[in-house]
Amino acid sequence: MALLVGLALAGPATAGDPNGNFMIRVLGWVLEPDTDVGSVTASGLGGIAIPGADAEVDTEIIPSATLTYFLSNNLALELFCCFANINVDAKGTLAQSGLGKLATSWIFPPVVTLQYHFDGMGGFKPYVGVGAQYIHFFDEGPGQNVLGASSVDIDNAFGFALQAGVDVSLGDGWYLNADVKKTWLDTEITWNNTALGTIRADADLDPWIISAGVGYRFNLEDLLGGRSAPSMK
C-alpha cells in the first residue's frame, strides 16, 4: 500500500502506463480451504485409522499483494503473497467427542503463475493463469489442546494452481481487479505425545483463493529514472 501511495504522489515522472511492464495490486482475499482428510491414525491404537475422524481448516479473510511482470502485451508472470493464521477444527467423530480446535498455525502461501492477458476489449482485461503454490507452516500450536499434545507439526506443501481474473481500467494506469485461484496441495498434520500416542492426519487442503482490490501499472524504467532525456554534448 505504501508503494502504491508513493507512486501516486510521485507525479508525471512515474505516471501510470496501461502498457507498462509492472503492475502492483493491493487486495483483500478469502482463503476457502476445500479440506479432505484421508485418514487419522494413532500409534497408541496400533496405527489403525480412527473411524469417522475428520478435520477442516477454517475460512480466513486476509490482506495481500501481488507483483506482476509483463513479458509482452499478453504474457505475464505474477507473484501472489501474504501471511495468514489458520485453525484446524475437528469434524466427524472428533467433533462429536467435543475436541473443538485441534491446531493453529501461521502460513506463508506464495503463488506463482504464468498468465495470458486477453486484449481487444478496451478497458476490460481478462486473464487466465497456471502455476504453483508453496505453503510454509510455522509457529504451529495445539489449539485448545484437548488432545494433550506436547506439540503439533504441519508439513510444508507444494501443489498445482489455476487462475482466472480481470482488470478493469480506471485510467492513468489504475485498475480494479477481481481474481480467483484454485490450488491442489497435500500435507500431513502430526500431534506428538498425546494420550493416544502420535496422531497423524493426511489432509488435502485444495484451497480456493478469491480476491479483489486495486492495482497500479507502470514502467519500472520510469520509476528508476531510466527514461530521462540524454544529455546534449
**Beta partners for residue 133, in sequence order:** 111, 159
32 lies in some domain: yes
Work out the end-to-end distance of the chain between its first and last CA atoms, rounded to an integer number of angstroms: 41
pLDDT for 8: 53
At 132-176, the pLDDT tens digits run 999 999 999 998 888 889 999 999 999 999 999 999 999 999 999
Confidence at 232, pLDDT banded by 50, 70, 90:
very low
Q: Which residue has the cell 501510470?
A: 16
> Average pLDDT of 12-35?
85
Residue partners of 161: CB distance under 8 A and separation at least 6? 111, 113, 129, 130, 131, 132, 133, 181, 182, 183, 184
pLDDT tier at 49 (50, 70, 90 boundaries)? confident
Q: How many domains are contained in the chain? A: 1
Whether 64 is in a domain gets the answer: yes
* Nearest 10 degrees: Cα torsion 190, 100, 136, 214: 170
Is residue 24 situated within a structural domain? yes
Banded pLDDT at 233 (limits 50, 70, 90): very low
Evaluate whether residue 38 is within a structural domain: yes
State CA 82 to chain mean position distance: 6
Residue 231 CA, chain-centre distance (Å), reads: 46
Instruction: Give a yes or no: residue 231 inside a domain.
Output: no
Q: Is 232 within a domain? A: no
Grid cell of 44 as nine digits:
497408541
Question: What's the CATH number where 115 sits?
Answer: 2.40.160.20
22 within a domain of the structure (yes/no): yes
If pLDDT is split at 50, 70 and 90, which confidence band does 96 have? Answer: low
The range of the structural domain enclosing residue 211 comes to 2-224
- As a whole-number percent, the residues of the chain with pLDDT over 70 amount to 88
Gap between the Cα atoms of 48 and 192, Å rounded: 16
In a domain, 213, yes or no: yes
Dihedral (CA of 120, 126, 130, 132) sign: positive
pLDDT at 9 over 80: no
The stretch 67-81 carries a mean pLDDT of 96
pLDDT at 109 over 90: yes
Task: Assess contact for 215 and 25: CB atoms under 8 A.
Answer: yes
